[in-house]
Amino acid sequence: MLSRTFNFSKSSEVDPDLQGRYKHLTQPELHALQQLWEKLFDRYDVPINQLVDQFNNPVKIETFGLGDPPSPKKNDSKTIVFNGCKYGETVQDKVPTPIIPVKYSDISSGDTLGDYIWEAFREDIPDTLALKFLRARKWNVDDALDMILSTLKWRYANKIDEIIFYGESLNDASIMYKGTAFVRGVDKLGHPIVWAPITKHFQKDQDFSQSRRYIITFMESVRQLLQYPKERICLVIDLSDQSNRNTDWPFTRMFLKLLEAYYPECLALAIVYNGPWWFGGIFRVVSTLIDAEVSKKIHFVKNPNGLLKFINKDQLPKSKGGTDNYDFKYILPVPHENDMMSNLQLKQEALAARNLAVQKLVSITHEWIQIGKVSAKLNGDLAKKSWYSTGINNCSSSSGSGRESSETITSDSETSPEDAIIREMDIQAQREEYQEAFATAARNLDRFTRARNIYHRNGMIPSSQPLE
């Protein structure tokens, strides 16, 4: 049982895709995760807009011009941008019947962190997401907390759940038809490949707010494809035939900021393919916007042979020296694909099941934090001394979900180091079951809160309902 939950070997012996990840934590990493959850619970009843960081300053977010009205040029609405798509035309405009059968309604019960955090987790196993913030901040718990609070506030302020609800239906049609970014194949380590043919993107073709919306809907769709243990992507930035007209600095800055701050640890590697001679100078400017850890993941490749170092031939398109004859083609929404969203009775049942899973998970997490303090103290995790010295029964119960343990956790003087680890692992194993039950319940709820997307239509994301 010991090896199932924790990996006590040196980090150099662990697969990079498993290191510091769910079910593969060293004891210090596990205790850092427990600290992070405790700090989140301490803020459980705090309204999102009143959250403060570790220095007691209001949590800051990047809005990217949210709410700025479109500023089309004269006759822009009549301009054909791409493949018959007019400037400002949405995917809904291309479909004769409503894509989304009902209006959006918020399923969150309030505006506190405890109300909203589970909407942000969506269908993820909660620890997989929390650990991304810890890894991004090199296991500094306070820095990871600030980062996750900023992400929660950003998602809340930007109404990300509403964007997910309407999905592609309100996206600019020309961006969708171009395939500005799409997922196809996997790299040699099994990471899904995101292809980004830059030559198809022109800043003038859409309002900035539409570029922003597209990036968010795309990233949220890709999140569904990132399943443990493959939680990251391989990004191929294809600069073939790029010109200055394709250079969109606001778009680039927004993408980099989103990737770094609000979707951390989603990038395994980025391949910059076939850049023009002048791109090196531009990259030196762009690199100042990139986190150092992200910068280390960037590789420059000039030709198809270079791609083969990272991607097998059968996963490469023919245009890149591979054998895959796939060419991106956008698939419009299918009639009735979102009918489930209008079944309010089933939606309420799914929401109740998800909320029950939350209650169970919160309850056992309180107990898990307490036994973690005992284990950290008895097993000499000195790095966590200030945490466990606060006492094992000092876990915040502001969420009202304190769990009555079937095996009461008392003082550490009554517990041996070995017993503490065994007890911690027993609770951890049960908590993993509760986390996975939460993810299953959240996936069931997802049918009512997320519009289907191209990856449902092409079969990459299994659909819970048949498409007619």
Q: What is the CATH number of the domain that holds 78?
A: 3.40.525.10
Position 103 scores a pLDDT of 97
Pick from 111, 239, 242, 84: which is nearest to 173 by CA? 84
My answer on whether omega of the bond before 70 falls inside 30° of 0, hence cis, is no
pLDDT tens for the 468 residues of the chain, in order? 333 344 444 444 567 778 999 999 998 999 999 999 999 999 999 999 999 999 999 999 976 544 454 444 444 667 899 999 999 999 999 999 999 999 999 999 899 999 999 999 999 999 999 999 999 999 999 999 999 999 999 999 999 999 999 999 999 999 999 999 999 999 999 999 999 998 888 989 999 999 999 999 999 999 999 988 899 999 999 999 887 777 787 887 788 889 889 999 999 999 999 987 777 666 777 677 677 888 888 899 999 999 999 999 999 999 999 999 999 999 999 999 999 999 999 999 999 999 999 999 999 999 999 998 888 777 765 455 556 555 444 444 444 444 444 444 545 556 677 777 888 889 999 999 999 999 999 999 999 999 999 999 999 998 654 433
Position 414 scores a pLDDT of 66
8, part of any domain: no
Give the amino acid at 136.
A
Q: Do 330 and 360 have their domain in common?
A: no
Q: Give Dmax (Cα) for the chain.
A: 78
Position 75 scores a pLDDT of 44
Interatomic CA distance for residues 219 and 233, integer angstroms: 11
2, part of any domain: no
Per DSSP, the three-state class of 84 is coil
Q: Do 109 and 195 have their domain in common?
A: yes
Specify which residues 186 forms β-bridges with.
192
Q: Do 332 and 357 have their domain in common?
A: no
294, part of any domain: yes
Q: Do 189 and 235 have their domain in common?
A: yes
Location of structure tokens 């289907």 = 452
Q: Do 98 and 144 have their domain in common?
A: yes
Which domain range does residue 364 map to? 344-450
Pick from 156, 136, 458: which is nearest to 328 by CA? 458
Give the amino acid at 138.
K
List CB contacts of 364: < 8 A, sequence separation 6 or more: 403, 427, 430, 431, 434
Give backbone dihedrals phi and psi of 259, rounded to 5 degrees, phi first. Answer: -65, -40
- What is the distance, to the nearest Å, from the Cα of residue 226 to the centroid of all Cα atoms in its chain? 8
460, part of any domain: no
Q: Do 293 and 254 have their domain in common?
A: yes
Beta-strand (E) ranges in 136-266?
182-186, 192-197, 233-238
Q: Do 204 and 313 have their domain in common?
A: yes
117, part of any domain: yes
Give the other-Cβ count within 10 Å of 335's Cβ: 14
Position 381 scores a pLDDT of 58
Pick from 219, 211, 444: which is nearest to 346 by CA? 444
CB 24 within 8 A of CB 128: no
Position 195 scores a pLDDT of 97
CB 171 within 8 A of CB 216: no
Position 450 scores a pLDDT of 98
Location of structure tokens 């929404």 = 333
Pairing of strands 233-238, 192-197: parallel
H-assigned helices in 234-291:
249-257, 279-286
Long-range contacts of range 100-106, CB-CB < 8 Å, 24 or more positions apart?
100/165, 100/166, 100/167, 100/169, 100/338, 100/341, 100/451, 101/338, 101/339, 101/341, 101/342, 102/341, 102/342, 102/344, 104/162, 104/165, 104/166, 106/161, 106/162
> Where among 315, 338, 361 does a domain terminate?
338
Q: Do 325 and 384 have their domain in common?
A: no
Interatomic CA distance for residues 216 and 63, integer angstroms: 12
10, part of any domain: no
Q: Do 244 and 317 have their domain in common?
A: yes
Interatomic CA distance for residues 45 and 214, integer angstroms: 32
383, part of any domain: yes
402, part of any domain: yes
Position 334 scores a pLDDT of 95
Residues 256-268 as b/e (b if ≥16 CB within 10 A, e otherwise) read bbbbbbbbbbbbb
H-assigned helices in 167-207:
173-178
Interatomic CA distance for residues 142 and 384, integer angstroms: 13
> Where among 304, 338, 372 does a domain terminate?
338
Q: Do 276 and 421 have their domain in common?
A: no
Q: Do 288 and 410 have their domain in common?
A: no
Position 220 scores a pLDDT of 98
Location of structure tokens 């949210």 = 66
CB 427 within 8 A of CB 373: no
List CB contacts of 256: < 8 A, sequence separation 6 or more: 286, 289, 290, 294
Position 388 scores a pLDDT of 54
Position 275 scores a pLDDT of 83
Interatomic CA distance for residues 136 and 139, integer angstroms: 8
Position 387 scores a pLDDT of 61
H/E stretch holding 347 reads: helix 344-378
Q: Do 363 and 255 have their domain in common?
A: no
Q: Report how many domains make up the chain.
A: 2
Pick from 302, 218, 227: which is nearest to 254 by CA? 218
User: Can you give the pTM of this predicted structure?
Assistant: 0.88
CB 425 within 8 A of CB 6: yes
Pick from 193, 183, 460, 461: which is nearest to 312 by CA? 193
> Where among 338, 354, 370 does a domain terminate?
338
